[in-house]
């Protein structure tokens, strides 16, 4: 099954600083999804990447998928307290599979 | 994208009892998925629920413990049976969403505490 490794496990940054979260797969990724979760709540979809080398941005968050489609990074520019939460990468469990597997998550704290 | 209403949002239950969690989707979807998120952990898939057939359970999860119903294309329930403190988790339902390119939309989650 799809195994996703996320790093770091947790991150504490000062407001205004940039940060990067990584997600690495042991297999080719057929779609890589980034979600944000506030404590104890459901998941909010951020972005989906499908093509090697693809990059997407939404407000101050940018996500990239490498050419080999085995690693993705999520970059936040000029972090704000509203960015705090748990960031999860997810990927479909194979080309013809419909179930999604997740990384362990990165807990982000932004200090004002 | 689909909108999912999940109930209850939280509950505190006595050990040995059962809790049924409901998810209602605002559009017809073929597959619904149930996840568990234990404290401080990521999401683990419990089962996939298709309308008109029995749910498909992942390794480590059994129907007697987590019976699932899927009576139509917009609704599903997950029951956590004979609960123990180890069942204290957040339970989330999800649907594949074509609007997200087969990414998933999630319910708001049910925070379950078993005492």
**Rounded mean pLDDT of chain B?**
91
Smallest CA–CA distance, residue A22 to chain B, in Å, is 15
- Domain assignment of residue A62, given as a range: 4-111
* Residue A105 CB partners (closer than 8 Å, separation 6+): A6, A9, A37, A86, A87, A88, B41, B42
Instruction: Select the residue of B48, B100, B109 nearest A42 (Cβ to Cβ).
Output: B109
Q: Determine the Cα–Cα distance for residues B19 and B75; give it in Å rounded to an integer.
A: 17
Tell me if chain B has a CB within 8 Å of the CB of A1: no
Which CATH number is A68's domain given?
A: 2.60.40.10
Give the model confidence (pLDDT) of B34-79 as tens digits.
Answer: 999 998 888 999 999 988 788 999 999 999 999 999 999 999 999 9
Q: Which of A87, A88, A99 to mutate to test the interface with B (most CBs of B within 10 A)?
A: A99
Q: Determine the Cα–Cα distance for residues A107 and A36; give it in Å rounded to an integer.
A: 10
Helix (H, G, I), strand (E, B) or coil at A89: strand
* Residue A71 CB partners (closer than 8 Å, separation 6+): A22, A23, A24, A25, A65
Highest-pLDDT range among A59-73, A86-100, B92-106: A59-73
| pLDDT score at B10 | 95
Helix (H, G, I), strand (E, B) or coil at B43: strand
Q: How confident is the model at residue A31 (pLDDT cuts 50, 70, 90)?
A: confident
Instruction: Select the residue of A31, A35, A88 nearest B101 (Cβ to Cβ).
Output: A31
- The answer to whether the CB atoms of B109 and A100 lie below 8 A apart is no
Q: Tokens for A34?
A: 């980034």
- CATH architecture observed for domain B4-114: Sandwich (2.60)
Residue B81 has pLDDT above 80, yes or no: yes
| pLDDT score at B26 | 94
Q: Determine the Cα–Cα distance for residues A82 and B78; give it in Å rounded to an integer.
A: 32
Give the model confidence (pLDDT) of A43-78 as tens digits.
Answer: 998 999 988 899 999 889 999 999 888 999 999 999
What residue of B is the nearest CA neighbor of A91? B103
Per-domain residue ranges of chain B:
4-114
Question: What total of structural domains would you count in chain A?
Answer: 1
Instruction: Select the residue of B43, B94, B101 nearest A48 (Cβ to Cβ).
Output: B101
- The answer to whether the CB atoms of B105 and A50 lie below 8 A apart is no
Lowest mean per-residue pLDDT among B4-8, B104-108, B111-115: B104-108
Q: Determine the Cα–Cα distance for residues A96 and B33; give it in Å rounded to an integer.
A: 16
**Cβ under 8 Å to B: A residues 36-75:** 40-43, 45, 48, 50
Give the model confidence (pLDDT) of B14-28 as tens digits.
Answer: 999 999 999 999 999
Other Cβ atoms closer than 10 A to B44:
16
Q: Tokens for B53?
A: 């057939």
| pLDDT score at A29 | 82
Helical H segments across chain A, by residue range: none
Residue B1 has pLDDT above 80, yes or no: no
- The answer to whether the CB atoms of A42 and B108 lie below 8 A apart is yes
Which residues of chain A make contact with B92, given a CB cutoff of 8 A?
A: 42-43
Contact of A106 with A19, CB cutoff 8 Å: no
């Amino acid at each position: 099954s799809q195994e996703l490794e996320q790093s770091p496990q947790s991150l504490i940054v000062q407001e205004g600083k940039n940060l990067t979260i990584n997600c690495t797969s042991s297999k080719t990724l057929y779609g890589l999804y980034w979600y944000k979760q506030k404590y104890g709540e459901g998941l909010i979809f951020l972005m989906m990447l499908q093509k090697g080398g693809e990059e997407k941005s939404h407000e101050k968050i940018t996500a990239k998928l490498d050419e080999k489609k085995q690693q993705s990074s999520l970059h936040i520019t000029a972090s704000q307290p509203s960015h705090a939460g748990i960031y999860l990468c997810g990927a479909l469990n194979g080309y013809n599979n419909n179930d999604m597997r997740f990384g362990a998550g990165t807990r982000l704290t932004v200090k004002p | 994208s689909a909108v999912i209403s999940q109930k209850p949002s939280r509950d505190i239950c006595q050990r040995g009892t059962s809790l049924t969690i409901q998810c209602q989707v605002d559009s017809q979807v073929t597959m619904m998925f149930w996840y568990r998120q234990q404290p401080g952990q990521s999401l683990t898939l419990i089962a996939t629920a298709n309308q008109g057939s029995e749910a498909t359970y992942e390794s480590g999860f059994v129907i007697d413990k987590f019976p699932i119903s899927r009576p139509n294309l917009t609704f599903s329930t997950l029951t956590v049976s004979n609960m123990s403190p180890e069942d204290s988790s957040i339970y989330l339902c999800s649907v594949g969403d074509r609007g997200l390119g087969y990414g998933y939309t999630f319910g708001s989650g049910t925070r379950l505490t078993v005492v």
